[in-house]
């Protein structure tokens, strides 16, 4: 069945290392979101793509984070250099536009990538 | 972004009803959603309500929407141990983004 796939599921790294998280959205979905979840902040929107174009990355620390969609089947979130405060669960979600083809704007989430930066 | 407020924790006995509340800010939201997150998993859509509705019933779930007070609630009837999870409400806003609350942890006591 169709689902959003994220890799890696778990990542432990040392401060200063580069981290790349990958996401395969559901085929046919034209919106992709990256969220970060922590106990303190809850779910924070980091970046948002529509038809592979970045529409909003205002929630992302620009100096170290970057998000791209090299093609319709792959979205990446990169952190370079990583810091301990980046430790969180990173979720990718995809969806179709509300109202388009009867969709309700709901998002489908991957299982998340749990990042620990030591 | 928009601001969605939720209380943090609820414990309920198996078989009882549980009610989770949420307030939102964007009165122009077209849809409002309830998502469920089980431990170690992503969020899954439980149910949604269109903004021109006051109530929606879906098996054991009842969603109530008070547009005047911008208040959304989710009632789970006959709560079961499998309902233990974190529940997020979300509202749609500009460019089809969703703003999520901080979530409400529900613990079902057998």
Task: Report which of residues A111 and A2 the model is more confident about.
Answer: A111
The C-alpha of A98 sits at a distance from chain B's nearest C-alpha, in angstroms, of 7
Span B74-97, pLDDT tens digits = 999 999 999 999 999 998 876 668
Residues of B in contact with A42 (CB under 8 A): 100-103
Asked if A97's CB is within 8 angstroms of B96's CB, the reply is yes
| CB spacing of B44 vs A111 below 8 angstroms | no
pLDDT tens for B18-43 read 999 999 887 777 889 999 999 889 99
Q: Which residues of A39-72 are buried (b: 16+ CB within 10 A; e: fewer)?
A: eeebbebbbbbbeeeebbbeebeeeebbbebeeb
Name which of A31, A95, A109 is nearest B42 (Cβ-Cβ). A109
A50-108 tens-digit pLDDT: 999 998 888 898 899 999 999 999 999 999 999 999 999 999 999 986 666 556 778 99
| Token pair listed for A79 | 């952190």
Distance CA(A31)–CA(B59), nearest Å, equals: 30
């Amino acid at each position: 069945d169709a689902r959003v796939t994220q890799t890696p599921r778990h990542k432990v790294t040392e401060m200063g290392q580069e981290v790349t998280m990958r996401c395969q959205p559901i085929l046919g979905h034209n919106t992709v979101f990256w969220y970060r979840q922590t106990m303190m902040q809850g779910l924070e929107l980091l970046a948002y793509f529509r038809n592979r174009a970045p529409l909003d990355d205002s929630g992302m620390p620009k100096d170290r984070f970057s998000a791209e969609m090299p093609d319709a089947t792959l979205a990446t979130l990169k952190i370079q250099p990583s810091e301990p405060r980046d430790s969180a669960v990173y979720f990718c979600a995809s969806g179709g536009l509300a109202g388009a083809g009867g969709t309700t704007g709901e998002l489908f989430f991957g299982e998340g990538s749990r990042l620990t930066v030591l | 972004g928009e601001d969605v407020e939720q209380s943090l924790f609820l414990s309920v006995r198996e078989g009882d009803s549980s009610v989770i509340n949420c307030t939102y800010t964007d009165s122009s939201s077209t849809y409002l959603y309830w998502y469920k997150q089980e431990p170690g998993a992503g969020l899954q859509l439980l149910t949604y309500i269109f903004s021109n509705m006051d109530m929606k019933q879906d098996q054991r779930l009842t969603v109530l929407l008070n547009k005047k007070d911008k208040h959304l609630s989710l009632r789970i009837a006959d709560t079961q141990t499998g309902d233990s999870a974190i529940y997020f409400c979300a509202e749609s806003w500009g460019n089809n983004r969703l703003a999520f609350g901080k979530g409400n942890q529900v613990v079902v006591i057998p």
